[in-house]
Amino acid sequence: MSAAKRVQQWATFARSWHIFDCKWQDPYESAHVIKKYLMGMHKPIYHPMNDCGDVVVCINSREIALRGDEWRKRAYFHHTGYPGGASWTLAWELHNKDPTMIIKKAVYRAMTGNLQRRHTMQRLFIYPGENVPEDVLQNVTNQIRQIRYVPKRLDHIPEEEVKNYPKVMEYPEDFVVK
Amino acid sequence: MVFLSVINWARCRGPDEFWRKRRIFRLAAHYIGRRRNCYSIAVRNVHRALVYATKARKLKKEDMKSLWDVRITAACEQHNITLFSLREGLDRANIMLDRKSLSDLASWEPKTFEALAAVAKYKLETDRFIDGQDKCHPTGINLNLKDVMLEAWLNEKKK
């Protein structure tokens, strides 16, 4: 193969590492996006037997946001296999025990239930905070865009910017702000 | 002595039995165990295999269609267009490429696919096709209603 063709081959078939920030995201919506990258469905060369899936690193899985009452009401089922081994765990309990489980289960459920699922799930790395091992971070080349807009917290804006921001009007000195 | 009736008691099962069974055994050559050697077991499995082959002709077409759809969607997303918009734009521009051609172009001719996506986008823009609907101006915009004595009719006193 010529050098140019080798480069083209590598560029087409290499496995890329993506990073996804789960902060304030809905796990079930983001699971659909993550599953696409894990299975390789974002590539025109996709085939289930092709092993074209990429690696996805999820960070800040502790800051995930479920909708409405789901933290209190959504229950996860687990059976150990032994008699009397059925258990229903609520979402907040599960999140306290292991902050990575909710998004892991969401991605597992989003995928088709075939024999490749467990193998594809091994390409997913989830970290509860920003602390990611260096050898994993070194491989990461792309960031997946977040689905939900993450607004900036007003108390996180630096003071200088607040002071220098142009004002329309100023309250008079003896005005009492309730 | 001449034994004439003894010959009539001899039975021949079927003169071509060997070749009939060989037709089945040839199809069952790669089966496991008794399925490839014993006729009565082999024949059942061979018939099932032939039924699967018949049904799969339709399934293969469905599988290929969905695979092509996934590939075209993936390529569309690289160019910020949806599959629906691409298909609509190409249909309106009279570019009748089927799923197979589009997916092959997406894999092997990326620049051509980029051009097709641009053509579809431009066609939809000129047609003012937004959110799945033609958001064009209403057709009566160039009628000069003043010429049609509308104002006179509106100002007419009603009895």
Looking at residue B147, what is its pLDDT?
A: 61
Give the residue-averaged pLDDT of A69-97: 96
Which residues on chain A place their C-beta less than 8 Å from a C-beta of chain B? 41-47
Which pLDDT band, with edges at 50, 70 and 90, does B151 fall under?
A: low
* Residues 109-128 (B) with a CB less than 8 A from some CB of A: 110
Which pLDDT band, with edges at 50, 70 and 90, does B12 fall under?
A: confident
What confidence tens digit (pLDDT) does each residue in B13-69 have?
888 999 999 999 999 999 999 999 999 999 999 999 999 999 999 999 999 999 999
Looking at residue B125, what is its pLDDT?
A: 86
What confidence tens digit (pLDDT) does each residue in B93-146 have?
999 999 999 999 999 999 999 999 999 999 998 888 877 777 766 666 566 666
Give the residue-averaged pLDDT of A77-95: 96
Residue A54: name the closest of A22, A19, A17 by CA: A17
Residue A23: name the closest of A178, A156, A122, A162 by CA: A156
Looking at residue B155, what is its pLDDT?
A: 73
- Evaluate if residue A134 carries a pLDDT over 90: yes
Looking at residue A84, what is its pLDDT?
A: 96
Residue of A nearest to B75 (CA): A44
**Cβ within 8 Å of residue A21, ≥6 positions away:** A59, A60, A143, A146
B85 touches chain A (CB under 8 A): no
| CB spacing of B77 vs A42 below 8 angstroms | yes
Looking at residue B99, what is its pLDDT?
A: 96
pTM value? 0.81
Length of chain A: 178
Residue B64: what residue type? Answer: M
Question: Which of A41, A49, A144 to probe by mutation at the B interface, max B CB count within 10 Å?
Answer: A41
Share above pLDDT 90 across residues of chain A, in percent, rounded to a whole number: 89
| CB spacing of B67 vs A45 below 8 angstroms | no
For chain A, which residues make up each domain, given as ranges?
A: 10-150
| CB spacing of B71 vs A45 below 8 angstroms | yes
**Beta-bridge partners for A90:** A75
Q: What is the CATH topology of the domain spanning B63-158?
A: c-terminal domain of poly(a) binding protein (1.10.1900)
What confidence tens digit (pLDDT) does each residue in A16-65 have?
999 999 999 999 999 999 999 999 999 999 999 999 999 999 999 999 99
A10-150 belongs to which homologous superfamily?
Answer: Ribosomal protein L13 (3.90.1180.10)
Looking at residue A105, what is its pLDDT?
A: 97
- Which carries the bigger pLDDT value, residue A19 or residue B2? A19
Looking at residue A82, what is its pLDDT?
A: 97
Give the residue-averaged pLDDT of B86-98: 94
Smallest CA–CA separation between A48 and chain B, in Å? 9
| CB spacing of A44 vs B106 below 8 angstroms | yes
Chain A contacts of B67, Cβ < 8 Å?
A: 46-47
Residue of B nearest to A12 (CA): B107
B103 touches chain A (CB under 8 A): yes
Lowest model confidence (mean pLDDT) among A10-19, A163-172, B133-142? B133-142
| CB spacing of A44 vs B77 below 8 angstroms | no
| CB spacing of B70 vs A46 below 8 angstroms | yes
Looking at residue B146, what is its pLDDT?
A: 64
Share above pLDDT 70 across residues of chain A, in percent, rounded to a whole number: 100
Residue of B nearest to A45 (CA): B107
- CATH 1.10.1900.20 range(s) for chain B read 63-158
Chain B contacts of A47, Cβ < 8 Å?
A: 67
Question: Which of A35, A36, A46, A52 to probe by mutation at the B interface, max B CB count within 10 Å?
Answer: A46
**Cβ within 8 Å of residue A78, ≥6 positions away:** A86, A87, A89
Chain B contacts of A42, Cβ < 8 Å?
A: 74, 77
- Evaluate if residue B159 carries a pLDDT over 70: no
Mean of the per-residue pLDDT values for chain A? Answer: 94
Q: How far is CA B59 from CA A14, A48, B52, B71, B146, in A?
A: 31, 16, 10, 18, 63
Residue of A nearest to B64 (CA): A47
| Contact yes or no for A136/A57 (Cβ under 8 A) | yes
Tokens describing residue B159: 């009895």
| CB spacing of A43 vs B74 below 8 angstroms | yes
